[in-house]
């Protein structure tokens, strides 16, 4: 059990450093203009990457396959985003769509 405890402790420490070191760096130094320009693309780039990752299934050494359920449920969610512009509505529509897709046995 000590082994598990130590693993969690070290993983926690590593994750914490990943989270806070950039804050300390930014506080201590002035970021150059090119870095600020680079960072201005992070929100859209990282959210797009996280979204597309959820539509794919990784297979070592092969092309990824499509997560059909997530892809199908994404369509009503995207539509809800465009129509409502409300995060809450997108989430509720997404959950309901996935429930229906499972009920119909499509995924």
Which residues, 30 to 59, sit near other proteins by CB under 8 A?
A: 31, 34, 36-54, 56, 58
- Contact flag: residue 16 with other proteins (CB under 8 A): yes
Total binding residues toward other proteins, as defined by CB under 8 A: 77
Min. distance of Cβ 44 from other proteins in angstroms? 5
Contacts (Cβ under 8 Å, ≥6 apart) of 24: none
Residue window 72-101: x/- pattern of binding to other proteins, with contact defined by CB under 8 A = -xx--xx-xxx--xxxx-xxxxxxxxxxxx
DSSP-based helix, strand, coil % in the chain, nearest 5: 75, 5, 20
Cα 40–42–48 angle (5° rounding)? Answer: 130
């Amino acid at each position: 059990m000590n082994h598990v405890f130590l693993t969690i402790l070290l993983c926690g420490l590593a994750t914490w450093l990943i989270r806070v070191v950039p804050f300390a760096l930014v506080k201590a130094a002035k970021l150059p203009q090119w870095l600020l320009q680079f960072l201005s693309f992070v929100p859209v780039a990282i959210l797009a990457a996280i979204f597309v990752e959820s539509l794919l299934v990784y297979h070592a050494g092969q092309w990824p396959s499509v997560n059909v359920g997530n892809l199908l449920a994404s369509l009503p969610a995207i539509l809800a985003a465009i129509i409502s512009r409300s995060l809450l509505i997108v989430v509720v529509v997404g959950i309901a769509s996935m429930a229906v897709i499972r009920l119909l046995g499509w995924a």
